[in-house]
Amino acid sequence: STPTHPLALLAIDGLLTDEEREIRATVRAAADRELRPHVAGWFEKGEVPARELARTLGGLGVLGMHLEGYGCAGTNAVAYGLACMELEAVDSGLRSLVSVQGSLAMYAIWKHGSEEQKRHWLPKMAAGEYIGCFGLTEPDAGSDPGAMRTNAKRDGSDWVLNGTKMWITNGSVADVAVVWARTEDGVRGFLVPAGTPGFSAPEIKMKLSLRASVTAELVLENVRLPADAMLPGARGLSGPLGCLNEARFGIVFGALGAARDCLESAISYARDRTVFARSLASYQLTQQKLADMSVELGKGMLLALHLGRLKDAGELTPEQVSVGKLNNVREAIAIARECRTILGANGITLEYPVLRHANNLESVLTYEGTSEVHSLVIGKALTGEQAFR
């Protein structure tokens, strides 16, 4: 009989509006046409044409797509999640570019910036003419950003920044870096334009994950900025942590895109591959793997949609985002690894997307709060006791 797509099993599409389905179809078609044919090559080289990509993604309307005004599309959260899913079905690195641009750099400016900062940066960032990055993590402060050393000191009305940020997506190609730094007044955000004297962003090479994404260090040596470089609306760690909720939400959907792509590859491969004189898909062991993975994919999708509906109703809490990020990334990486077994030796090549996704998901498991951090956030919500420190 005709095979059913894993996501059609639970008829989840019926829970989407026509507009959400249309946006998803548009992003999927563009991603399949303009990104998918190139992505294995970018991954192999460890290089992406980031500027061209940003313009393509800006033209598609996905940069800051869930923000209102300033040239942004103003879609609902579910549509944004579905776009992340389609991009990550191609590669987590492409979704990363979009997450960091829209949910971290643009969102920080949109939420905490002055009117002048918003007008200056947001329309060009939405169009992909300017690229942004978001510098929170440091070499010695990842899960615990409160331990950051980067600092900003007043000199007259200017600010002088010193410190190092690490693992910064889009860092070396960014036109503007949102840099979080310690001040006398708590943690504050600063907009550092590329080319500011004392500021450099060397790229991090030799990665085995997210090779189709730019990752860099940000080095700030006596970087002098005018008073109006500071984001006026963010004070304290809640400023950057609030931005993370936005990007984590995109990952809840995005990771399922990578998982879906792996499962589609594995089902198609199992149907075509003959082992011991029969189709690999006809064996019970294979079917059990496929059934278990499809069940997890469907559950993850229902969870993502539920969180999306809560977000659109203005009710989504950080703990709920942690449930989604923890579950969906953990299941996505398990699915990617299991699919790899079905492909046998072919599974280790870039001819198929599966190990590329699995390798990418190693980063996704770690960034935006490791799985351990999200477990601890949920544990704190359940017990009222923080176990971070």
Is 368 among the catalytic positions?
yes
What three-state secondary structure class fits 279? Answer: strand
Residue at token pair 């996905």: 62
Residue at token pair 């601890």: 376
CB of 163 to ligand FAD, least distance (A): 12
Residue with Cβ nearer ligand FAD (346 or 366):
366
Q: Which of 167, 190, 199, 253 binds ligand FAD (CB under 6 A)?
A: 167
CB of 38 to ligand TGC, least distance (A): 19
Q: Which two tokens stand for residue 149?
A: 């050393």
Q: C-alpha angle with apex 99: 268 to 325, nearest 5 degrees?
A: 70
Does residue 379 belong to the site contacting ligand FAD (CB under 6 A)? no
Residue at token pair 């889009």: 170
Q: Which two tokens stand for residue 362?
A: 């190693």
CA distances from 253 to 57, 60, 63, 88, 228 (A): 18, 19, 16, 9, 36
Does residue 373 belong to the site contacting ligand FAD (CB under 6 A)? yes
CB of 289 to ligand TGC, least distance (A): 29
Closest CA to 88 of 249, 209, 256: 256
Q: Which two tokens stand for residue 13?
A: 């599409």
Classify the phi-psi angles of 309: left when phi > 0, otherwise alpha if psi is within -120 to 50, otherwise beta: alpha
Query: Which window, 19-27, 188-196, 296-304, 359-367, contacts ligand FAD (CB under 6 A)?
Result: 359-367
Q: Which of 137, 265, 320, 328 binds ligand FAD (CB under 6 A)?
A: 137
Radius of gyration of the chain (CA): 21
Q: What share of the chain is helix, strand, coil (3-state, %, to 5)?
A: 60, 15, 25
Residue with Cβ nearer ligand FAD (23 or 177):
177
Does residue 164 belong to the site contacting ligand FAD (CB under 6 A)? no
Q: Cα separation of 127 and 6, whole Å?
A: 35
Residues 242-271, mask of contacts with ligand FAD (x by CB under 6 A):
------------------------------
Q: Cα separation of 104 and 165, whole Å?
A: 15
Residue with Cβ nearer ligand FAD (298 or 369):
369
Where do contacts with ligand TGC occur on this chain (CB under 6 A)? 96, 99-100, 134, 136-137, 143, 145-146, 169, 236-238, 241-242, 244-245, 247, 318, 367-369, 373, 377, 388
Residues 71-100, mask of contacts with ligand FAD (x by CB under 6 A):
-----------------------------x
Closest CA to 179 of 165, 158, 194, 167: 165
**Other CB atoms within 10 A of residue 9 CB:** 13
Residue at token pair 């992003």: 27
State the binding partner of 244 from ligand TGC, ligand FAD, none, CB within 5 to 8 A by kind. ligand TGC
Residue at token pair 């699919």: 339
The active-site residue, picked from 246, 368, 372, 385, is 368
Q: Which of residues 191-230 bind ligand FAD (CB under 6 A)?
A: 210, 215
Does residue 143 belong to the site contacting ligand FAD (CB under 6 A)? yes
State the binding partner of 247 from ligand TGC, ligand FAD, none, CB within 5 to 8 A by kind. ligand TGC
Query: Which window, 58-66, 161-169, 225-233, 276-284, contacts ligand FAD (CB under 6 A)?
Result: 161-169
* Catalytic positions, written as ranges: 368
